[in-house]
Every structure is written in structure tokens, then in C-alpha cells.
């Protein structure tokens, strides 16, 4: 579930509070979390400073001089920074609650930094993975993932989006936005939000879009991320949006609630294998004409 905004919140917390600090110890509670070559273990990071943190789509990496950690939080991973020497931060899946005493029974890894700062990776479903590799191999490893441009990066241009969609003409829009080879970072929440902002039905085929609609979808992705990234992401718990911040998220987790644009009830349907929320009125499958929305509410309370 953690998507670009949630992983970016973790990256920012780590960048601001942990980069430059030296790792003094660690505890690996769930050994299967780590994937590594035979000659590399987490012992390699002890007594070394965290040099850098980076992100591409939903992938996050930490670089210590002898070892890089490539992290994917998958469905329910959560990263919490705490300790007396940092303000603290939390990002990722909202379960367990961020103020839970750590380690939690689902905590997989703790990394300790001098003088008293800790990074906890907790994952209630146990799908998250941390790949260890020499830092020099990180660029090639990332290239091998064949990710599309990060949705929040300057590389995600309108031209790149049009070109990538042109190679997926028979794909439904929801599946296209979930495809990390087209654009990296969107998942179930922000794909739904982008399609609602663009007023496009999630089951429409890429080939049915006009140039204007493709462009509208591109800018809708930017608009959604512009709201979600500063918030650290939407809060979706047990399939429900809680609590709404302003009106965000607009549709995801809001089945049965009125659309804030037109008042019709938000529907939920399985599209591309994922529970998909949309407004059948302003995201019509058969009438691609844009509906006016002069009463679109303010996005987020300042
Ligand atoms: Zn609507």
C-alpha cells in the first residue's frame, strides 16, 4: 500500500534526521526480510555513517560506504524514526499506529544510530524486503527493474507519458497507472485519485483517449501528488479513508459517500484486480466529455 507519497515521507525523514549519523548496531527480528549475496550481511553497516538516502517510485535505498540497502515496503511496510536525539518521523502503512511502542510483534528490523536514534521497519504482512548490495551495484540494479520515470521527478514529462501510453494501447487506464514501467510510484490510491481528478473512467482503454485526455491525466497525476506528498500520503485504514484532510482523498476509500464534485455516490469495483473507487457520473465510461466543476472544493485546508 505505501506509494510514492508515503515512501517520499520516509525518505525525507531519513534525509533530515538520520543521514550523517553512524550506525552503531542493529537487530534483525525477521531474517527473511533481508535478501543478500553470501558474502554480505547487515554487519557491514555497523560503525559506518549513513551517507545518503534515495527513492525511485516505491523503492527506497540507504547507502552506507560498504553496503546499500534497497527497500520495498510492499503492502504494509512502515518506517519509524525515533530516539532522544531526533524529532522522529513515521511513514508508510498506518498499522500498527505510529505511536505504538516499538519493537512491535511485526517489527522486522531496527537500525541504531549514534547517539540515540533508531529506524524501525515494521510490516504486519511480512512482504517487505531489504536487498543488500555493494553501493556500486545499485545503479545497475535499479536499471534492471526497468521502472518508468518517477512520477514526482522532472524525468516524468508529458512526452514520456504519451510515449509510454502509446505502447499500452489495449490497457485499461487503471492498469496503465499501476504499471511501474509506465510511471513509477503510483499504486491503488493515487491511480484512483488521478483518474477522478482527470474525470476519466478507470476501465477505459488507453487507445480510447484523445490527446487532450492523455494530457489531462498527466496533469492530474501532478495535482494529486502535489497534495499528497506534503501530507505524507492519504490515510486509508481497513478500506476506508480516515480522517479526510480537506477533501483528500477524493474517491479512494469513500465508497457510498457523495462525490465532492457532483454529489453522486462513489462506487467501488474491481478493475485490474484491485478495488477501484470512482464516480460513475463525472468519470463516465461512455461520455468522455469533461463535465464542468465550478464548485470543486478547496483541495486541502492550509
Ligand atoms: Zn462525481
Mark whether 25 and 104 lie in a shared domain.
Answer: yes
How far is CA 302 from its chain centroid?
A: 23
Cis ω on the peptide bond leading into residue 14 (within 30° of 0)?
A: no
- CA 179/CA 186 separation, integer angstroms: 8
Alpha carbon of 282 to ligand 1 centroid (Å):
4
CA of 50 to the centre of ligand 1 (A): 47
Active site residue 274: yes
Catalytic hit among 2, 149, 202, 249: 2
Select from 121, 144, 167 the last residue of a domain.
144
Active-site entry in 11, 55, 58, 254: 58
Is 287 domain-assigned?
no
Answer yes or no: do 120 and 192 share one domain: no
Question: Is 3 designated active site?
Answer: yes
Residues 33 and 55 reside in one and the same domain:
yes
Total structural domains within the chain: 2
267 is catalytic: no
Of 214, 268, 274, 299, which one is the catalytic site residue? 274
Cα(279) to centroid(ligand 1), Å = 5
Please indicate, yes or no, whether residues 214 and 174 belong to a single structural domain of this protein: yes
Residue 256 sits in the same domain as residue 130: no
User: Which pLDDT score is estimated for 302?
Assistant: 32
224 in Cβ contact with 194 (< 8 Å):
yes
> Is 183 a member of any domain?
yes
- In sequence order, the β-bridge partners of residue 119 are 81, 111
Answer whether residue 149 is part of any domain: no
* 81 C-alpha to ligand 1 centroid (Å): 39
pTM, 2 dp: 0.92
Catalytic residue, candidates 3, 6, 8, 193: 3
Tell whether 127 and 19 lie within a shared domain.
yes
Q: Are residues 209 and 112 in the same domain?
A: no
- Please report whether residue 68 resides in a domain: yes
In sequence order, what DSSP letters do the residues of 202-249 get, joined into one string? Answer: TTSBGGG--HHHHHHHHHHHHHHHHHHHHHTS--EETTEE-S-BTTBS
Residues 14 and 140 in one domain: yes
Residue 113 located in a structural domain: yes
Q: Is residue 15 part of a domain?
A: yes
Residue 291's pLDDT is 53
Residue 226 annotated as catalytic = no
Q: 86, 117, 144: which is the final residue of a domain?
A: 144
CA 205/CA 275 separation, integer angstroms = 18
Asked which of 88, 115, 144 is the last residue of a domain, the reply is 144
CATH classification at residue 256: 1.10.8.50
Range of the domain at 265: 158-278
Domain assignment of residue 299, yes or no? no
> What CATH number does residue 48 fall under?
3.20.190.10
Q: What is the pLDDT of residue 242?
A: 67
User: Tens-digit pLDDT profile for the chain (302 aa)?
Assistant: 799 999 999 999 999 999 999 999 999 999 999 999 999 999 999 999 999 999 999 999 999 999 999 999 999 999 999 999 999 999 999 899 988 999 999 999 999 999 999 999 999 999 999 999 999 999 999 999 999 999 999 999 999 999 999 999 999 999 999 999 999 999 999 999 999 999 999 999 999 999 999 999 999 999 999 999 998 887 777 677 765 556 789 999 999 999 999 999 999 999 999 999 999 999 987 655 455 554 444 444 33
Give residue 295's pLDDT: 43
**Beta-sheet strands, E only, within the chain:** 23-28, 34-35, 52-56, 59-64, 67-72, 77-82, 89-92, 107-113, 117-123, 129-133, 236-237, 240-241, 267-271, 274-278
**How many Å separate Cα 234 from the centre of its chain?**
10
Residues around ligand 1, an ion, CB closer than 5 A: 259, 261-262, 264, 279, 281-282
Cα of 157 vs centre of ligand 1, distance in Å, is 28
In angstroms, what is the span from residue 235 Cα to ligand 1's centroid? 21
Under 8 Å between Cβ of 104 and 94 = no
Cβ-proximal residues to 14 (8 Å cutoff; 6+ apart), any chain: 50, 53, 62, 79, 81, 89, 119
Ligand 1 center to 114 CA (angstroms):
51
Q: Do both 261 and 183 map to the same domain?
A: yes
Residues 203 and 122 in one domain: no
Residues 24 and 127 placed together within one structural domain of the fold: yes
Q: In terms of C-beta density within 10 A (0-12 exposed, 13-18 middle, 19 or more buried), how is residue 66 classed?
A: middle
Q: Is residue 201 part of a domain?
A: yes
Do residues 126 and 163 share a domain? no
User: How many angstroms is it from 281 CA to the middle of ligand 1?
Assistant: 5
Amino acid at each position: 500500500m505505501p506509494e510514492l507519497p508515503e515512501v517520499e515521507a520516509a525518505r525525507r525523514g531519513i534525509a533530515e534526521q538520520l543521514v550523517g549519523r553512524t550506525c552503531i548496531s542493529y537487530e534483525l527480528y525477521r531474517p527473511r526480510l533481508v535478501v543478500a549475496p553470501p558474502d554480505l550481511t547487515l554487519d557491514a553497516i555497523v560503525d559506518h555513517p549513513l551517507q545518503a538516502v534515495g527513492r525511485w517510485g516505491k523503492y527506497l535505498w540507504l547507502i552506507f560506504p560498504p553496503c546499500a540497502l534497497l527497500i520495498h515496503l510492499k503492502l504494509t511496510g512502515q518506517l519509524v524514526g525515533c530516539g532522544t536525539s531526533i524529532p522522529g518521523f513515521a511513514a508508510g502503512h498506518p498499522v500498527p499506529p505510529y505511536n505504538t511502542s516499538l519493537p512491535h510483534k511485526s517489527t522486522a528490523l531496527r537500525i541504531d544510530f549514534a547517539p540515540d536514534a533508531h529506524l524501525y521497519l515494521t510490516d504486519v504482512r511480512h512482504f517487505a524486503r531489504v536487498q543488500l548490495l555493494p553501493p556500486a551495484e545499485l545503479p545497475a540494479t535499479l536499471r534492471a527493474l526497468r521502472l518508468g520515470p518517477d512520477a514526482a521527478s522532472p524525468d516524468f514529462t508529458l512526452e514520456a507519458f504519451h510515449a509510454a501510453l502509446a505502447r499500452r494501447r489495449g490497457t485499461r487506464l487503471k492498469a496503465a497507472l499501476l504499471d511501474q514501467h509506465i510511471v513509477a510510484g503510483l499504486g491503488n490510491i493515487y491511480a484512483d485519485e488521478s483518474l477522478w481528478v482527470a474525470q476519466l473512467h478507470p476501465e477505459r482503454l488507453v487507445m480510447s483517449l484523445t490527446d487532450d485526455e492523455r494530457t489531462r491525466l498527466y496533469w492530474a497525476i501532478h495535482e494529486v501528488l502535489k497534495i499528497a506528498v506534503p501530507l505524507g500520503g492519504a490515510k486509508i485504514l481497513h478500506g476506508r479513508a480516515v480522517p479526510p484532510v480537506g477533501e483528500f482523498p477524493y474517491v479512494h476509500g469513500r465508497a457510498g459517500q457523495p462525490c465532492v464534485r457532483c454529489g453522486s455516490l462513489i462506487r467501488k469495483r474491481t478493475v485490474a484486480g484491485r478495488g477501484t473507487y470512482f464516480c460513475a457520473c463525472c468519470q463516465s465510461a461512455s461520455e468522455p466529455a469533461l463535465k464542468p466543476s465550478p464548485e470543486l472544493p478547496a483541495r486541502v485546508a492550509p
